[in-house]
Amino acid sequence: MAIVQVEGARIAYDTYGSSKPAVVFLHGFPLNRLMWAPQVEALRGVGRLVVPDMRGMGSSELSNGTTSMERMADDVHGLVESLDLAPVVLVGLSMGGYVALSYYRKYREEVRALVLVDTRAEADDEKARENRTKMIEEVQAKGPSAVATAMIPKLLSEEAQKDAEVVAEVRRMIETTSPAGIIGALRGMAERPDSTDLLGEIAVPTLVVVGSEDTVTPPEGAEAFAAAIPDAQFEVIDGAGHLSTFEKPDEFNDLVREFLEELPNGESDS
Ligand code: MLT
């Protein structure tokens, strides 16, 4: 694990390989960079893989009470600058997708391509914000294990929930997240702006992926999301829930490998 200092916080990351393009993996909530372990194993040859922990999660520090999606995007940009990685391919799952859209809004000229997984462009509605507030109260009262109990049925398909090892790994990631980090991200997600207007402006190759069993960002919504992005490729991973990259890594990794190989100008070559 390496560390980069970005505006008041130490941001942790791993990096593998040195070929082009740089592919930056942005994890979901309330997880950390270890959720990308199956991609790190399988995709080493496709580019330089860069896998950060978002501020307040994993081994990255928290510097204030709310971690906005823009703050996380700025942290990723600080990392990209410090390693001189631009232009980058951003792969973001769920909250990581919110961060990728925020990054695109601000730094689009430094983005080579997007892979948006089990995510959405809309801001939270009133009900979603209320649920965030309830979860904040829950973490304050009972700690991260209560969040793990609430989140696991949302993150994993019914089938994956029968796999004790997968459940244990996801639980471990959530339980090692600090309460303050969880609360900061919940506040940041509740406050995030709507990005629907941005979708039509996306002018880089984009792959949208969703699990067929995703109940958090269901396939119908993901299809509409993909349709709003010019020339986006839309793929459904059969049988996978919200954490599709973790549940069905082979299917996801094949999609990413092919997508990168087909990027114009042979940018996936070393
Ligand atoms: C995630 O997987 O990152 C979360 O489900 C996102 C969210 O709560 O909106």
15 vs 1, 36, 86, 180, CA distance in Å? 8, 12, 15, 26
The pLDDT, as a whole number, for residue 64 is 84
CA of 104 to the centre of ligand 1 (A): 19
The edge-to-edge listing of strands for the beta sheet with 22-26 is 2-6, 9-16, 48-52, 22-26, 88-93, 111-117, 206-211, 233-237
Question: Which residue out of 216, 225, 243, 247 has the highest number of ligand 1 atoms within 8 Å of its CB and is therefore the one to mutate?
Answer: 216
Whether the CB of 94 sits within 6 Å of ligand 1: yes
Q: Which atom of ligand 1 is nearest to the CA of 216?
A: 5
Where does 108-163 have alpha helices with state H?
126-142, 144-155
CA of 181 to the centre of ligand 1 (A): 14
DSSP, collapsed to helix, strand or coil, labels residue 92 as strand
The pLDDT, as a whole number, for residue 264 is 87
The pLDDT, as a whole number, for residue 185 is 98
Whether the CB of 98 sits within 6 Å of ligand 1: no
The pLDDT, as a whole number, for residue 270 is 41
Instruction: Return the residue whose CA atom lies nearest to atom 7 of ligand 1.
Output: 95
* CA–CA separation, 29 and 92 (whole Å): 11
Give the H/E segment covering residue 235: strand 233-237
Which of these, 129, 155, 133, 142, lies nearest to 211 by C-alpha position? 155
Whether the CB of 29 sits within 6 Å of ligand 1: yes
CA dihedral (144, 98, 94, 182) in degrees, to 10, reads: 0
Omega before 205 within 30 of 0, i.e. cis: no
The pLDDT, as a whole number, for residue 63 is 85
The pLDDT, as a whole number, for residue 100 is 98
Whether the CB of 207 sits within 6 Å of ligand 1: no
The pLDDT, as a whole number, for residue 6 is 96
Give the distance, in angstroms, between the CA of residue 190 and the centroid of all CA atoms in the same chain. Answer: 16
The pLDDT, as a whole number, for residue 65 is 87
CA of 151 to the centre of ligand 1 (A): 9
The pLDDT, as a whole number, for residue 269 is 44
CA of 265 to the centre of ligand 1 (A): 34
Please tell me the pTM assigned to this model: 0.97
Q: Which atom of ligand 1 is nearest to the CA of 97?
A: 3
* pLDDT tens track, the chain, 270 positions: 999 999 989 999 999 998 899 999 999 999 999 999 999 999 998 999 999 999 999 999 998 889 999 999 999 999 999 999 999 999 999 999 999 999 999 999 999 999 999 999 999 999 999 999 999 999 999 999 999 999 999 999 999 999 999 999 999 999 999 999 999 999 999 999 999 999 999 999 999 999 999 999 999 999 999 999 999 999 999 999 999 999 999 999 999 999 999 998 744 444
CA atoms within 13 A on the CB side of 102: 26
* CA–CA separation, 266 and 161 (whole Å): 40
On whether the CB atoms of residues 106 and 70 are closer than 8 A, the answer is yes
